[in-house]
Amino acid sequence: MKISRYFDAAVLKPELTPQEAEAAIRECIAYDSYSVCVRGCDIPLALKLCEGTNTKVSCVLDFPYGYGGVAAKREAAKAYAQMGVVDIDMVMNYGAARGGAWDVVEEEVRAVAEEAHKFGVNVKVIFETSQLTDEQIRKGTEVCVAAGADFVKTSTGFNGGGATVEAVKAMLEAGKGRIKVKPSGGIRSYETAKMYVDMGVDRLGIGFTSCSKICAGEEEALKG
């Protein structure tokens, strides 16, 4: 499978104008990304642009800090799922995770999963692994399995470092095939993207500005 079919191409910069968001979404579609991951305000635009293409629409929820609380998370999940996205990438309350309040984390993930799954929408839980220990990443993965999430995801790209081999390995080992894994943040070359795919991940979070470089790298590798 070509590398772009792993892309959740992120169009999430808060300063993007509607015109800039449209241009970015069109670029992601042109590279045949699996999905374009957008801000809540851009869901209608993305759905319109992606209609009739191979690219689906995903969105973020409680982004980028994850501290909105269970009621807000649940209502946003319901709203976004009803709009027609295929995936919701919610941010874990990683402050709660760091403090060992795993019951809070589980309640919030379950609330989003319950609303999303009513509409056949997948839920990815963004950990912000740069803020967590290896033990917390593994525990978080177990909690997400128990709460019914479909994916665990490393990073927002907006706080600290992005994906690392160590974090992805921890997620894969703790998940034991019960939940899918999505590295995100800092993936800017074909070599890095391919490395994570070879580790066994199911999706890649790619900033929209990196799509062209990664796809060009794949072309060069295939020529070689």
Task: Please list the active-site residues.
Answer: 89, 153, 182
Helical (H) or strand (E) element with 181: strand 180-182
Which strands form 204-207's sheet, in the order they lie side by side? 180-182, 151-153, 122-126, 87-91, 56-61, 35-38, 7-11, 204-207
- Provide CB contacts within 8 A for 105, sequence distance 6+: 92, 93, 96, 97, 140, 143, 147
Question: What end-to-end distance do the CA atoms of the chain give, in Å?
Answer: 18
Distance of alpha carbon 224 from alpha carbon 204, whole angstroms: 24
